[in-house]
Amino acid sequence: MGIVIIGAGLAGATAATALRQQGYDGPLTLIGAEATPPYERPPLSKGYLLGTQPFDEALVHPEPWYAEHDVSLRLGTRATAIDRDRRVVRTASATDAAGGEGTAEEDVPYDQLLLATGAAPRSLRMEGVDDFVTLRTVGDSTRLKEAFAEGTKVAIVGAGWIGLEVAAAARTAGAEVTVFETAALPLQRVLGPEVATVFAELHRGHGVDLRLSTQVTPDDLRGADVRIAAIGVTPQIELAEQAGLAMAAREEGGGVAVDATLRTSDPRILAIGDIAAHDHPVLGRRIRVEHWDTAKRQAKAAAAVLLGGDEPYRRLPYFFTDQYDLGMEYWGNPGPAGYDRVDIEGSTDALAGDAFHAFWVRGDEVVAAMHVNDWDASATIRESVGSRRSAAVR
Ligand SMILES: Cc1cc2nc3c(=O)[nH]c(=O)nc-3n(C[C@H](O)[C@H](O)[C@H](O)COP(=O)(O)OP(=O)(O)OC[C@H]3O[C@@H](n4cnc5c(N)ncnc54)[C@H](O)[C@@H]3O)c2cc1C
């Protein structure tokens, strides 16, 4: 029996680690559809894709760690159903490296269950174009890395984080890159126009053909050697849905509804990472975050709850990106109420490698803050979120 974790990604593997670190010595099973031991995905669109970082560095642990810590790691195994009455997880061996469903079935019993099934890229359907590639797994990244070369024509649909990071990696490899985006600026929804414009200038400055306010057509994609869809992800909630767990509303970003302590509507089942729509005690609303930091930190918090704790998860969302020579970190989440103004301190000439700080302010409260290229300022910027800020500084 013991604890079973479904999803051997960053959140699942971090939770297994935290359970052992926090003293749990009972049975622990980690079920993962991919054939590869758990790994971090950020390098797949950065160092690994650029060819500057070996894949091994992205592993949460070298594979022997799991046996050494008595974690039963079932790779290439997909959970296909949860029977909450019998408290078993039905599994099937996955047939391919990406985790496609196979046939050999087995039931894994649990006392408590942790869901960490992550998210999958949204697919793009367009008449006459059936070869879009997406980026989620190490296999996807390896294929893109092999395709990016001097003169390769790369078309990317979507100028969000993944689209832009892939554009930067492709340009760095000497590819000719065109990015299509329906919004007026890249990252506009997350950053707002004041800061999003910095990313537009950065990519144009590096020679990306950035086509904004554009609905891409098959004609636009005709000459490209590689066509990439980077239009966001959807949480992998089918298992939880079939098990009858409460879900978050679509307007709330979907996902498995969890309370402040990360428990689902079934107290024996918790959910964390990209699938979890968390009732955030500090923000006072439900939020589902698709970021590395949240996956890791929720995993540690969930381990404590599985072991009898009842501490709510309070951390504010955090994310980072690296594109060309620009590195940045961002904390907070303005949410549907938005912000009234953005105070920018420093030079936003990202092409020149300059550094700046930005503060998104609602009323007189900082609801989000970031730095670009000023890593020493991390702590100060993070601590500014939630503080008062009266006058605009420009
Ligand atoms: C290319 C890329 C770059 C990124 N860069 C950044 C970044 O710079 N900064 C940042 O903050 N975030 C970044 N992210 C986001 C970050 O990687 C995710 O938020 C994080 O991986 C979420 O962890 P997770 O464990 O919830 O999900 P995942 O990492 O998706 O892991 C879930 C795992 O569960 C498995 N699974 C799903 N269903 C089943 C099932 N039924 N049975 C068994 N296994 C199952 C999946 O195969 C997968 O391996 C990036 C993501 C990608 C794809």
Task: Decide if 3-120+233-306 and 123-229 have a common fold.
Answer: yes
The answer to whether 147 touches 169, Cβ cutoff 8 Å, is: no
- Rounded Cα distance, 211 and 184, in Å: 9
The answer for residues whose C-beta is within 8 angstroms of residue 222's C-beta and 6 or more apart is none
pLDDT for 233-288, tens place per residue? 999 999 999 999 999 998 888 999 999 999 999 999 999 999 999 999 999 999 99
User: CB count, 10 Å around CB of 342?
Assistant: 19
- Rounded Cα distance, 138 and 44, in Å: 6
Give the pLDDT of residue 134. 98
pLDDT for 303-335, tens place per residue? 999 999 999 999 999 999 999 999 999 999 999
Q: Which of 313, 320, 333 is nearest to 272 (CA)?
A: 313
Which amino acid does the sequence have at 215? Q
The token pair that represents 322 in the structure block: 């690296």
Give the pLDDT of residue 98. 57
**Angle ∠(185,187,192) on CA atoms, nearest 5:** 75
pLDDT band at 101 (very low <50, low <70, confident <90, very high): low
Nearest ligand 1 atom, CA 121: 53
Q: Is 55 in the pocket of ligand 1 (CB under 6 A)?
A: no
Closest residue by Cα to atom 50, ligand 1, is 42
Average pLDDT of the residues of the chain:
95
**Domain locations along the chain:** 3-120+233-306, 123-229, 325-384
The DSSP code for 126 is B
pLDDT at position 392 over 90: no
pLDDT at position 394 over 80: no
Cα(351) to centroid(ligand 1), Å: 30
The token pair that represents 264 in the structure block: 């689902």
| φ, ψ (nearest 5 deg) of residue 218 | -55, -35
Give the pLDDT of residue 327. 95
Nearest ligand 1 atom, CA 318: 11
- Rounded Cα distance, 292 and 287, in Å: 15
Which amino acid does the sequence have at 253? G
Superfamily of domain 325-384: FAD/NAD-linked reductase, C-terminal dimerisation domain (3.30.390.30)
Give the pLDDT of residue 250. 86
Q: Is 76 in the pocket of ligand 1 (CB under 6 A)?
A: no
pLDDT band at 16 (very low <50, low <70, confident <90, very high): very high
Q: Is 8 in the pocket of ligand 1 (CB under 6 A)?
A: yes
pLDDT at position 99 over 70: no
The CATH fold of domain 3-120+233-306:
FAD/NAD(P)-binding domain (3.50.50)
User: CB count, 10 Å around CB of 355?
Assistant: 20
The CATH fold of domain 123-229:
FAD/NAD(P)-binding domain (3.50.50)
Cα(323) to centroid(ligand 1), Å: 20
Match 């078309």 to its residue by tokens: 155
Bridge partners of 368? 332, 360
Nearest ligand 1 atom, CA 31: 43
Give the pLDDT of residue 159. 98
Q: Quick one: what percent of the chain has pLDDT higher than 70?
A: 96
Q: Which of 127-131, 217-221, 368-372 has the lowest average pLDDT?
A: 127-131
Cα(122) to centroid(ligand 1), Å: 14
Which residue among 41, 78, 107 has the greatest number of ligand 1 atoms within 8 angstroms of its CB, and so is best to mutate? 41
The answer to whether 259 touches 245, Cβ cutoff 8 Å, is: no
The DSSP code for 305 is H
Where is pLDDT greater, at 61 or 252?
A: 61
Q: Is 19 in the pocket of ligand 1 (CB under 6 A)?
A: no
